[in-house]
């Protein structure tokens, strides 16, 4: 295990992937995909696991140290995990908010130059109540991360945001304008993030590039590339200004889930 106190500059590859069930994706060449991606830190969302459902191959995934957050409200739901070659100074999975902690949606990892959040944002399609829950969750997380920014920390927020930001970020914006995931009220949250000094890294490096990270399992959506870009790496502007963030990417050639991995290249 490499300590994050090592001060020699080096490149890190951060990979975020909603696997839509870790047990399911393990049957679909998961480890081959991870080896190809070669992450220094791998952030997974929607693991759909309880602690006692983890297998040795999940826990003892060398050379990674693993960290987990589980949903306690029901089994087979939500959940996030992080696998890191670099030992964080601190890892937090419970935040004193039972309504969010109970769904196992966030892992915070503190490193020398930044704090990294792996987040599975709620889906608002089920009901008006879940849409409001999603909006409240966004507000809580951004208020929480602002305290770190006020203390001078760079912040990286990654995961499945469950919202496409602009029309370039989904195949059929018009028909989906009244659907949760592309509602104006949800997109406004991402506008507020940018106004607050966060940067959508993929769009920063590739302002006109059309690329998606999620496709419905219906209607041959992935085959037809009728997708949505809803998986992001947002970073605070200082991490770009200081030369920490070098590149961002989406790997459409990795299969096994209805999402594909998204990545960030940093030098620290």
Output phi, psi for 140, to 5 deg: -60, -50
Using a pLDDT cut of 70, give the percent of the chain over it: 97
User: Is 129 a known ligand-binding residue?
Assistant: no
Distance of CA 69 to the CA centre of its chain: 14
Q: Is 0.85 topped by the overall pTM?
A: yes
204 belongs to the catalytic site: no
Output phi, psi for 156, to 5 deg: -120, 125
165 belongs to the catalytic site: no
pLDDT in tens, 186-205: 999 999 999 999 999 999 99
Q: What is the structure's pLDDT at 4?
A: 46
pLDDT in tens, 59-74: 989 999 999 999 999 9
Alpha carbon separation from 13 to 40, 184, 230 (Å, rounded)? 5, 33, 20
259 belongs to the catalytic site: yes
Sign of CA dihedral 41, 51, 157, 238: negative
Class of domain 12-267: alpha beta
Query: How far apart are the C-alpha atoms of 119 and 208, rounded to whole Å?
Result: 26
User: Is 162 a known ligand-binding residue?
Assistant: yes
User: Is 224 a known ligand-binding residue?
Assistant: no
User: Is 259 a known ligand-binding residue?
Assistant: yes
Write down the catalytic residue from 120, 133, 198, 232.
Answer: 120
Number of neighbours of residue 62 by Cβ within 10 angstroms: 7
DSSP annotation of 40: S
């Amino acid at each position: 295990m490499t300590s994050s106190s090592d001060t020699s500059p080096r490149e890190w590859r951060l990979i975020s992937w909603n696997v839509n069930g870790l047990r399911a994706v393990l049957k679909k060449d998961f480890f081959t995909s991870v080896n190809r991606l070669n992450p220094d830190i791998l952030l997974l969302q929607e693991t759909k696991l309880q602690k006692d459902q983890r297998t040795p191959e999940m826990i003892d995934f060398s050379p990674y140290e693993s960290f987990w957050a589980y949903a306690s409200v029901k089994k087979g739901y939500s959940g996030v995990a992080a696998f890191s070659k670099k030992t964080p100074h601190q890892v937090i999975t419970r935040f004193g908010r039972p309504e969010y902690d109970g769904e196992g949606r966030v892992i915070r990892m503190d490193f020398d130059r930044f704090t990294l959040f792996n987040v599975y944002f709620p889906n608002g399609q089920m009901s008006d109540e879940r849409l409001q829950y999603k909006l409240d969750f966004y507000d809580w997380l951004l208020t929480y991360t602002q305290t770190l920014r006020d203390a001078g920390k760079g912040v990286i927020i990654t995961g499945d945001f469950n919202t496409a930001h602009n029309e370039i970020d989904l195949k059929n914006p018009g028909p989906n304008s009244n659907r949760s995931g592309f509602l104006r009220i949800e997109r406004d949250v991402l506008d507020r993030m940018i106004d607050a000094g966060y940067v959508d890294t993929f769009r920063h490096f590739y302002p006109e590039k059309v690329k998606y990270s999620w496709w419905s399992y219906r209607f041959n959506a992935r085959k037809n590339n009728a997708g949505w870009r809803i998986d992001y790496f947002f970073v605070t502007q200082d991490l770009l200004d200081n030369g920490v963030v070098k590149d961002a990417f989406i790997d459409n050639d990795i299969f096994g889930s209805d999402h594909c991995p998204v990545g960030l290249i940093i030098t620290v």
